[in-house]
Chain A
Amino acid sequence: MSVLLFLAAALSVVVTTSIVYILVSESWSFFATIPLWTFLTDTQWTPVFAEPRYGILPLLTATLWSAGIALVIAIPLGTILAVYLSEYARPAVRETIKPMLELLVAVPTVVYGYFALLFLTPLFKQFVPGLAGFNLLVPGIVLGIMTLPYIVSISEDAMRAVPGALREGAYALGMTRFQTAMRVIIPGAFSGITAAYVLGMSRAVGETMILAIAAGQNPNLTSDPREGAATITAYIVQMSMGDLPHGSLAYQTIFAAGLTLFVMTLVFNIIGFFLRRRFREVY
């Protein structure tokens, strides 16, 4: 029986190995045709054009733009909310708010996409001049709302894990709740809070539907978030919707794009994992 249980647990390793195998083997064929250097430096991504170009930069910048906007929203709001819930709110308030935040996590991302494209974008057009129908700004903001509960939850956990003795020490010196939070709790939970940011970044980078719906599907190397641009994830979705002949170069592009995404999130996740572990070891 324990062998069966072990196999179930080991399945997770098989899954990871298979992910790496599939991404690498399909990308391998891709990079046999397109040099890695071209992939990383060419500024155009037009695999289905008559004269195809295979530069990941437009997809990458759109991914980083939207994730960046998301974090600019989610990090300050998430940190404030976490401090509020951990240090200010009465237990009853905390116990009511936390499940509500969990409900925010439960909203399907396709619904967030609907909200971004058909509610917020028309709204924002009224006071952001030059905002395109598909743009990076609004889905970035919605992505921030989506990431928010995630960041709140991890950083609040980190703050609650700071021992009560430290809080009492701070209060005994004459600190207010705010001073306790800024001078003792946040430094004490620092690696846990950083882990929340990094894992939030990983979430934002890997999110698909909000961007596929509201940021458009046109690869566009841009420095203006008011324009639309396809992210890595949106590109994969767009290609999957069409007819992709197995084994074609176009088929392989989605794996090369996927590998890029996987490596990025892997780096974020590993950093986040060790930050959280380090922070658990302190106390």
Chain B
Amino acid sequence: MAAQNIADVKGRTEELASVVSAARRKDYIFAIIGVLVLIISMGMLVALLYDLFVDGIPRLSWDFLTSFPSRRPANAGILSAWVGTSLVMLVTACLAIPVGVMAGLYLEEYAPKNWLTDIIEINVSNLAGVPSIIYGLLALGLFVYILGLGRTVLVAGMVLALLILPVVIVATREAVRSIPVALKEGAYGIGADKWQTMWHYIIPAARPGILTGAIVGLSRAIGETAPVITIGALTFIAFLPPAPVQGTPPFVNFDWLSAPFTVMPIQMFNWISRPQEAFHVNAAATGVILLAMSLMMNAIAIWIRYRLRRAHKS
């Protein structure tokens, strides 16, 4: 096997060198293609942002935020839409976060290894893949008609909570899983029972991870349109739901839960669908606000995760 002759070795090495340089060339070509694809896809994001911002930002004003929709585009605003979105998000957060965290804790810390747990696990990952409009049909058939809750803020909050539940569950599980075993053992070691360990050690340690999941979930809910349309949110609404807080006892008021409503993505959809260009500008302005909120929430989530990772490293 060994070619001990200098000329042979040199000849063979030269052959290999030409093979290597051909392979290297392909390698570089792929690297260039990779960078190009990266630039194209990032370019799409930039084009999208640019288009929306150029169209929408000039329209943003205080009036735009404090006016009801109108048949005249110049007078129209998104007051009822952003109030609706805020109230719906409040319901969604109050439902999805506690339930999602509890379900995540159960699956990670309590669940026995049996077929029931398997079914729940498969089910959670499957739910994450169900199209959002199907949740809308569920809410229409079950919440609106069978339970008779009507086309209300409460129903919208509930359906979006169901929609983001898998996100919160998965985030909770990952956060709990990444807690060092030593922490848990330490807690049991000082005599804490399982629930005390959960409440005083696991949940606080997992809080940043859970928070990240909750924010990502809510940012998804904020932009969701289809399920809210399906339950029959109105697209033109010129009044506000009753305020949740009032000056007289008992100071809180839950009537807003059963109020009809609209949300920002629906308002935007409605304006896009109009033929007049002036409404498109309104749509773009709504889009800017929607996108800014959604991106900001995600940026916060990414930032928390980044800090978390650094904390783990040190």
Contacts and interface: CB of A to CB of B under 8 A. Distances in A.
Given A12-B124, A103-B298, A108-B294, A4 B102 contact: yes
B34 A88 contact: yes
A208 B226 contact: yes
23 contacts: A4-B102, A5-B102, A8-B98, A8-B103, A9-B102, A10-B120, A13-B123, A22-B137, A84-B30, A84-B38, A103-B295, A104-B45, A106-B294, A106-B297, A110-B225, A111-B291, A114-B272, A117-B272, A209-B265, A233-B133, A265-B134, A269-B126, A269-B130
Interface string B1-40: 0000000000000000000100110110011011101101
B141 A176 contact: no
A236 B136 CA distance: 10
A111 to B, nearest CB: 5
**Interface size range on A against B:** 35 or more
Contact of B103 (A11, A23, A174): A11
Given A11-B99, A12-B165, A107-B294, A81 B37 contact: yes
A89 B35 CA distance: 9
Given A9-B107, A80-B37, A108-B291, A100 B45 contact: yes
B122 A176 contact: no
Interface stretch (A158-166, A184-192, A221-229, A254-262): A254-262
Given A145-B41, A178-B23, A115 B48 contact: yes
**Interface size range on B against A:** 35 or more
A265 B41 contact: no
A22 B272 contact: no
B157 interface: no
B126 A16 contact: yes
B42 interface: yes
A111 B41 CA distance: 16
B127 to A, nearest CB: 6
Name B's interface SS: helix
B257 interface: no
Nearest to A247: B145
A104 B291 CA distance: 11
A10 B133 CA distance: 22
A266 B126 contact: yes
B124 A103 contact: no
Contacts of A5: 102-103, 105-106, 110
Name A's interface SS: helix
Interface string A106-136: 1111111111011100000000000000000
Contacts, number: 256
A216 B175 CA distance: 43
B172 to A, nearest CB: 10
Contacts of A102: 298, 302
A38 interface: no
B79 interface: no
A140 interface: no
B268 interface: yes
A16 B123 contact: yes
Given A107-B48, A237-B229, 18 more contacts: A5-B106, A9-B120, A16-B126, A19-B138, A22-B141, A103-B298, A106-B220, A108-B222, A111-B52, A113-B272, A114-B287, A117-B272, A181-B30, A236-B136, A236-B230, A237-B226, A240-B230, A269-B126
